[in-house]
């Protein structure tokens, strides 16, 4: 700092991030070098990734566990790659802040080497994106980016620093104190409750309906509204479905839990939701995935909806009674308004029977002792092995379906993170999650198709000592796509399978080449000891589980199939 109390941009940014509670930042060389060195001096760990997309996914996993912004960085030529990595945190409602460099204004629109316009790249995947042209503007814009990332529906924000490494902003001066968020807010940054009249109206509708289902979404999970959801469910004798992202919001073995609804669902949930007189969506975006393309529940179903974002109220279902507010705070008021009404438990008991009957059909698959290993057996072993405060990070596609339908969670200390759609997300995201919660065990569940995307981050995990257990469902192909390829190919044996098959690959050998320990699992009896060893280790370990491409994950019940 100078005699006048000013400091350069690098010092300001480093001190501000450290003061806001940031413990790790994720980057690809070369960007903000002075800032990164000062962060290191302040006890913040810079994690060098091998791709900008992986750096964004690490920041995403970090943000979802830390409850505050994860920070990722890339220089000018890496900005496009970093932007592509923001799609998943945008869709997953995660507060990631992306920092990029760009060549200074005098270089713009003059065919500068490696330079393209950044604004269009970030427009679709951020809620706020702007240039930082002067160091004097850095404190104001950084505070705004931080607030915007956390506020209402959390989503990524982006600052584009002058200088292709951001160096012009680092070298300039500012006299402002290095403070981003003096209140240290986490998600949700604010907890407004719905208006009293709306609460009373919703309470009347819910108590008047005989067959109520609750559909709790990612917003309810971010609001940590599990206890309030469960209290309301018990008061109304209402079965509870969730989005995939809210899996584990309540104990998945609770008598009122019916599982994930929609397209990534086991059969019971959709069947039960479809039979409701009224569905209460809580922090749930009513998109195509959770509603099976708006058929579950039917479009004319009576709806009550709680959401912090007023634009979500009635977005998909016209017959909606809306409550605008934080899910946890609003549910507390709704529970007070409803009290303990006398309810017929018949619908809840019917739902519990449907779930129990389906679970019984899974028992032979869970207990199967043949090779190749059934994925149902693998999921059951993960249920038993995951610690009471463990973090399960799942990839998209079949990894999401398998973990969302076949792995049970305690609804208390355990956390489930899922990809919002980007294949390969889970491994880098699990590294970020572990950085945010070093004392908790982190298990990444990915298919081999997803693991191939970011294998290089095995080196990052080893170098940085990030001890995650990576479970690879190794079936030598894109298992989710097998049925679709066969259907297009006229169901002729073998035809078209080259479109989705690859390998076989021994990922323990791959892991060893990066200096990471691997455990090859080829028989069901080997799964439990391998998981125990991996979760007990203080280093990253790859558990390569040999399965088969043929087994189909649970398929959702749909009104069309039942007709």
From 351, 379, 405, give the residue that closes a domain: 351
Together in a domain, 150 and 225: no
Q: What is the structure's pLDDT at 3? A: 42
Q: Do 379 and 524 reside in the same domain of the chain? A: yes
Distance separating alpha carbons of residues 81 and 72, to the nearest angstrom = 12
| pLDDT score for 1 | 47
Q: Is residue 61 part of a domain?
A: yes
Q: What is the pTM of this model?
A: 0.97
In a domain, 188, yes or no: no
Q: Are residues 282 and 216 in contact, defined by beta-carbon separation less than 8 angstroms?
A: yes
Residue 152: what pLDDT? Answer: 86
Q: How many CA atoms lie within 13 A of 500 on its CB side?
A: 19
The number of residues making up the chain comes to 563
244: three-class secondary structure by DSSP: helix
Distance (Å) of CA 124 to CA 62, 87, 112, 497? 22, 8, 24, 35
**Domain identity same for 342 and 413:** no
What is the helix (H) or strand (E) element at residue 282, kind and residue range?
A: strand 278-282
110 CB-contact burial (10 Å; exposed 0-12 / middle 13-18 / buried 19+): exposed
- Is 71 part of a structural domain of the chain? yes
296 is a domain residue: yes
Distance CA(122)–CA(348), nearest Å, equals 46
Helix orientation angle between 226-236 and 327-338, rounded to the nearest 10 degrees: 30
Is residue 509 in some structural domain?
A: yes
| Domain span at 346 | 196-351
pLDDT per residue rounded down to tens, the chain (563 residues):
444 579 999 999 999 999 999 999 999 999 999 999 999 999 999 999 999 999 999 999 999 999 999 999 999 999 999 999 999 999 999 999 999 999 998 998 899 998 899 999 999 999 999 999 999 999 999 999 999 999 989 999 999 999 999 999 999 999 999 999 999 999 999 999 999 999 999 999 999 999 999 999 999 999 999 999 999 999 999 999 999 999 999 999 999 999 999 999 999 999 999 999 999 999 999 999 999 999 999 999 999 999 999 999 999 999 999 999 999 999 999 999 999 999 999 999 999 999 999 999 999 999 999 999 999 999 999 999 999 999 999 999 999 999 999 999 999 999 999 999 999 999 999 999 999 999 999 999 999 999 999 999 999 999 999 999 999 999 999 999 988 888 898 888 778 888 989 989 999 999 999 999 999 999 999 999 999 999 999 999 999 999 999 889 999 999 987 65
Which structure tokens are listed for 463?
């170098």
If asked whether residues 343 and 373 sit together in one domain, one would say no
Q: How far apart are CA 501 and CA 504, in angstroms?
A: 9
Q: Which residues contact 350 (CB under 8 A, 6 or more apart)?
A: none
Cβ–Cβ < 8 Å for 165, 30: yes
CATH number at residue 212: 3.40.50.1220
Q: Which residues contact 110 (CB under 8 A, 6 or more apart)?
A: none
Token duo for residue 514: 């990066």
Residue 357 resides in a domain: no
| Under 8 Å between Cβ of 414 and 389 | yes
Same domain? 410 vs 534: yes
Instruction: Note the pLDDT of residue 2.
Output: 45
CATH code at 22? 3.40.50.970
Within this chain, do residues 85 and 234 fall inside the same structural domain, yes or no?
Answer: no
Q: Which of 300, 317, 351 is the last residue of a domain?
A: 351
How confident is the model at residue 563, as a pLDDT?
57
Residue 191 lies in a domain: no
Of all helices (H) and strands (E), which one includes residue 130? strand 128-132
Token pair listed for 158? 């982006």
| CA-based nearest residue to 341, from 239, 235, 196 | 235
Q: Cα–chain-centroid distance for residue 367? A: 30
Residues 420 and 539 in one domain: yes
Q: How many domains does the chain have?
A: 3
> Are residues 167 and 113 located together in one domain of the fold?
yes
CA–CA distances in Å: residue 417 to residues 154, 243, 382, 400: 15, 12, 15, 10
The answer, yes or no, to whether the previous bond of 153 is cis (omega within 30 of 0) is no
Angle, helices 426-436/457-464, rounded to nearest 10 degrees: 20
pLDDT at 352: 98
Vertex 64, ends 55 and 463: CA angle to 5°? 40
- For the record, the structure tokens of 339 come out as 């009290």
Same domain, 152 and 271: no
* Of 470, 479, 478, 480, nearest in space to 545 by CA: 470
Residues 33 and 146 in one domain: yes
343 and 433 in a single domain? The answer is: no
Residue 141 sits in the same domain as residue 247: no
> Per the domain annotation, does 222 fall within a domain?
yes
């Amino acid at each position: 700092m100078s005699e006048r109390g000013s400091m350069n941009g690098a010092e300001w940014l480093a001190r501000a991030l450290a003061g806001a509670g940031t413990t790790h930042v994720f980057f690809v060389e070369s960007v903000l070098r002075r800032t990164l060195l000062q962060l290191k001096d302040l006890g913040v760990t810079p994690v060098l990734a091998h791709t900008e997309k992986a750096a964004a996914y690490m920041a995403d996993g970090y943000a979802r566990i830390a409850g505050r912004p994860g920070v990722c960085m890339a220089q000018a030529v890496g900005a496009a790659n970093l932007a592509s990595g923001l799609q998943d945190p945008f869709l997953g409602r995660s507060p990631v802040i992306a920092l990029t460099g760009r060549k200074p204004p005098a270089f713009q629109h003059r065919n500068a080497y490696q330079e393209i316009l950044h604004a269009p790249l970030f427009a679709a995947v951020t809620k706020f994106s702007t240039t930082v042209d002067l160091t004097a503007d850095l404190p104001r814009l950084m505070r705004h980016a931080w607030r915007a990332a956390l506020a209402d529906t959390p989503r990524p924000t982006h600052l584009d620093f002058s200088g292709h490494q951001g160096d012009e902003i680092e070298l300039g001066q500012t006299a402002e104190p290095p403070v981003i968020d003096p209140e240290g807010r986490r998600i949700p940054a604010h907890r407004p409750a719905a208006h009293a009249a709306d609460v009373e109206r919703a309470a009347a509708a819910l108590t008047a309906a005989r067959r109520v289902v609750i559909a709790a979404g990612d917003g309810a999970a971010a609001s940590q509204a599990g206890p309030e959801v469960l209290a309301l469910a018990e008061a109304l004798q209402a079965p509870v479905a969730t989005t995939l992202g809210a899996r584990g919001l309540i104990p998945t073995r609770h008598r009122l839990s019916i599982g994930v609804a929609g397209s990534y669902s086991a059969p019971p949930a959709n069947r039960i939701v479809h039979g409701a007189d009224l569905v209460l969506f809580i922090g749930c975006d009513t998109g195509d995935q959770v509603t099976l393309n708006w058929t579950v529940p039917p479009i004319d179903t009576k709806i009550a909806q709680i959401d912090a974002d007023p634009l979500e109220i009635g977005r998909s279902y016209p017959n909606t009674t809306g409550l605008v507010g934080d899910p946890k705070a609003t549910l507390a008021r709704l529970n007070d308004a409803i009290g303990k009404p006398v309810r017929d438990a018949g619908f809840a008991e019917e739902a519990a029977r449907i779930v129990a009957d389906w679970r019984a059909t899974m028992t032979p698959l869970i207990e199967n002792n043949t090779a190749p290993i059934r994925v149902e057996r693998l999921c059951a072993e993960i249920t038993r092995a995951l610690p009471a405060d463990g973090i399960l990070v799942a990839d998209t596609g079949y990894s999401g379906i398998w973990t969302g339908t076949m792995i049970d969670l305690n609804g208390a200390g355990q956390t489930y993170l899922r990809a919002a759609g980007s294949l390969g997300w889970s491994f880098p995201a699990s590294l970020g999650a572990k950085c945010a919660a070093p004392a908790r065990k982190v298990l990444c569940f990915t298919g081999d198709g997803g693991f191939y995307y970011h294998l290089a981050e095995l080196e990052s995990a080893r170098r940085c000592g990030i001890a995650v257990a990576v479970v690879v469902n190794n079936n030598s192909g894109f298992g989710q796509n097998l049925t679709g390829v066969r259907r297009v190919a006229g169901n002729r044996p073998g035809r078209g399978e080259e479109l989705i098959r690859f390998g076989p690959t021994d990922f323990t050998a791959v892991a060893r080449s990066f200096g990471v320990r691997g455990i090859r699992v080829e028989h069901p009896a080997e799964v439990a000891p391998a998981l125990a060893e991996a979760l007990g280790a203080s280093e990253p370990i790859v558990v390569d589980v040999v399965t088969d491409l043929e087994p189909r994950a649970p398929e959702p019940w749909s009104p069309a199939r039942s007709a």
